[in-house]
Structure 1
Amino acid sequence: MASPLSPKRGLVLVADDDPVMRLLMREMLEQVGLDTLEAEDGAQALACYRGMAPDLVLLDVDMPAMDGYAVCRAIRASETQAAVPIIMVTGSDDLEAVTLAYEEGATDFVSKPINWPILGHRVLYVLRASDAIARLRIADAQNRAVLAAIPDTFFRLDKDGYYLDYEQGHDAHAGFASEHCAGRHLRDVLPHDIAQRLLEQARAVLEQQQVRSVDYELVRHDAIHHFEARLVATGPDEVLGLVRDISERKRTEEQIRRLAYCDSLTGIPNRQAFLETLERELTRSRHGGKKFAVLFMDLDSFKRINDTLGHNVGDHLLKAVSERLRETIRPSDLVSRAEQHGNNLARLGGDEFTILIPDLERVENALNVAHRVKEAMRRPFLIEGHEIFVTASIGISLYPEDGEDCNSLLKYADTAMYHAKNCGKNNAKLYSSSLTMQIMSHVKLEVGLRRALQNHELYLLYQPQIDVPSGQIVGVEALVRWRHPERGIISPTEFIPLAEETGLIVPIGEWVLRTACAQARSWADMGPQPVRMAVNLSAKQFKDDNLTQVVLTALQETGLAPGLLELELTEGTLMDDARATMITLDQLRGIGVYLSIDDFGTGYSSMNYLKRFDVRALKIDKSFISGLPQDSENAAITRAIIAMAHGLKMAVVAEGVETDEQLVMLEHYGCDLAQGYYLGHPSPPESITLMLRNQYALASPATL
């Protein structure tokens, strides 16, 4: 039979040497809707089979030339696909004849005399049975192909946990040899705990008729492998199981988990992981009546390291910091065993780290950990040949005193950390409610400062600089002030550090430069002796790539001669990155502006760099002037600075002159210029204009 039974009429080959028998058979078969093909002997039957491919052969045993056994044997020998059903017609119910018919490949037999009314129905039954067998074979072949493509191991269990059969999949790690499992109990093959779980789930599958799965681990070939067994009921007392090695999936899941919960740079837990750990600790401490502390640590001046040495060095520093923190807060140092409560250390981002101290008994314990962390950070880090020194500011919040939720505790620890920075850095501070008010005031002040430029709340005062020998005003220093619409005049000591911190110092500095240059140009037009305008440059302004262009634009827009603009820089600004400083100074000198060092004596300049910087003037810090003339040490320092500056062909400006005695001493030491309350307070431009007019009026006609 070439194919399973189809809706078309079946074709039956009737082979018998008796024409009457063939006629009767044909009649019976046609009555049940079958077509027939007749053969008179065995040779003709074999030829018809090969030529017509009938769906069934009705074959008499006793025929001339070639008997039915030989024909049946030949048909079976020539078949390449599904076997065609063959019904042998025997002359009796002889057992030997029937046995021989089956041995030669017969499907069924009919003995004579034939029961004619049922012959057609019997043939139909055999055809249907043959068709069903063919379909089963096709389905079985398809199933085997599917199973061959699936690497899973298959097994069947009875309700008591005995393997009924077992077929190992392609993956040798996923299963055992079939002979090792079939007929044995789960506990004889697998570890007891895994076997018990599988047995419990198998019984649940039989009871609930639902698919269940069990994940477990086995050590195979000296490595841990993860497996998943999926169980499904195939009968009232039988369960089919599929086992797959999911080790690769587990590794992928672990990698995804690490990406989600571990900081990619340092390998320690990230913000999300810390928040979940903190949430668990909140629940645990709440139920157990425990206390804990959150430490929020930020590296001081980390941005400066990034800017000067590069982000690669910064990244290596962060790795080294996290490793040192790991060592510093090892579990034996903590009040509680950290490994029992998750990760105590995390990197929130940038240079911010958090530490969780569970089971806190005393506040001092948290402060002790903070102290150890500070001391650990103070030890130098050797990164790519650079010896780097950093300090840390740490804020501490306590549960339940400061807050009872994650966001509050983290926010308050952050607030305390900023307070530590404002107190001079390298500090650790506990949170208090008053800090929140300070921070809110700080934020409010920042918002106001951002609006100050737009709302024209900033203005400039000018302090005269006097030529010491002649007493004439030869320059002024521009000083920025802020008139707040609600608070009135805000001290520069309050808003200048805020401007530095927020970066607002750059746009504010640009405004100061333009305004001061415009005012200097106005005074230059008044008389024959124009005064020089001194403007302070902050560290952020000096490092701004656009500084040179900003200065050029201010000079061009106002028409001020470059020589009448003096830019003051602190020692710290100049020494922060000497190589970059030289480049910027060369650009500014190329414009033609006057350069001076402000607050000299409070920084760490070297003589070598002073020569290379090639500035025009030094301004002696007022802390050295204030003790004159009584303080002999300050007097010696002042005299030495003046002598050194003159040796380097620099002018000297003394700041903070408040008495006539100080002015006399400075003149005696050869100081070139002076400024201070004794000589003139910071004043609005109208007052300076009046002073200059009076000075010009007193000048001789020759100079006019």
Structure 2
Amino acid sequence: MNAPPSTARETVFVVDDSRTAREVVRLHLARLGCEPVTLEGGEACMAELARRAPMLILMDLRMERMQGDEVCRAVKAHPAGRNVPVIMFTSAGEPHEVMHCWRAGADDFLPKPVTLEALQAKLVAVRGARERVKDGPPRGRRVLLVEGGRFLHTFLGGSLEQEGLHVLYARDAHDAERLAAEHAAQLDGFLVDVSRAPKEALALAARLHETGPRKPLVLLSRAEESAEVLARAQALSGAPLLEKRHLGADELLARVLARLVPDRTPLRAAERVPFFTVVEFAPVGGGPTHSGFSHDASPGALFVRTLTPAREGSRLALKVLLAGQRTPCAAEATVAWANPPRPSGAFRAPAGMGLRLEKMDPALTQQFVRFVPRTHGFPPPSPPRASGF
């Protein structure tokens, strides 16, 4: 296999207390055009990180002195390592090990023994992220979220990210105007909470609307608003103010998405539940197999974190291994959205993909029935009721 073209040999740290394992990965990286730096353990990794930041860190989870997850946390807390991708080596078929990697902030994992083909796929993804710095997030999915409280950031912002959107978070009106001016050409929509100070928030919404009159503007509130505020919101956005007190979580997210990206069918990500799995995926009909992990699911949907997502619209054959199980389940899915890794920036979105599950074997179906109740997710459309007045 020829090394992929590269203008310079990128530095990659290989952290493992096994000399044999380090040498195998070093040879792989050398063939792939990288400059491997082999390090015996966590202390050596942190000392080298203090001298220079690599393009990528490959690290074994199980090491004698400092466990890999402990080292990963230290790397992500270090100013030089905050934006460096970390890929952990784990035992094949051990979801609980992958869970440790995720909790430590690792970006992806590779099962041992590490193959040249699997390593190359992850390396190509990391290289590609640097090349996407000029492109920015994909068009049609870039949203400015003006926070009015913790609810927007933790629930609604997270749900939008799980639906494949790239979210730009603003803390207040001043921050929103700064971000809107800085990213005006990239933004595709605005979402503003008017709860805290309705008049000031509506004035901000008006200014945002002036900068992008053809871009959707969604206004919502977590409190009961006056008739004046409701009328002003309607005039600005062309739609009624969304009042959280009248809407369940699913319906609120459904309405927000319908206004921001009306042509997209959501994955019902509002009511996600913990559902940790290791996922292997390949194109239906044959092709290379890649790996990822999922830490939550919705009815009929799985959200996979991976540096190597498949293309949107492609159909995948899955092997899904749940924590505590030894035998993987089988499924087929369509990729609803895919976010390849990108350089760190103002917009936030997970690297990975959202899968719409279409076929599940009986074992996986049973697990979904048990852990992902059907009461979650968007309610089915109902016919309009006759007025009682």
TM-score, structure 1 normalization: 0.22
Structure 2 length normalisation: TM-score? 0.38
The higher-RCO structure (CA 8 Å, 6+ apart) is: 2
Which has the larger strand fraction?
Answer: 2
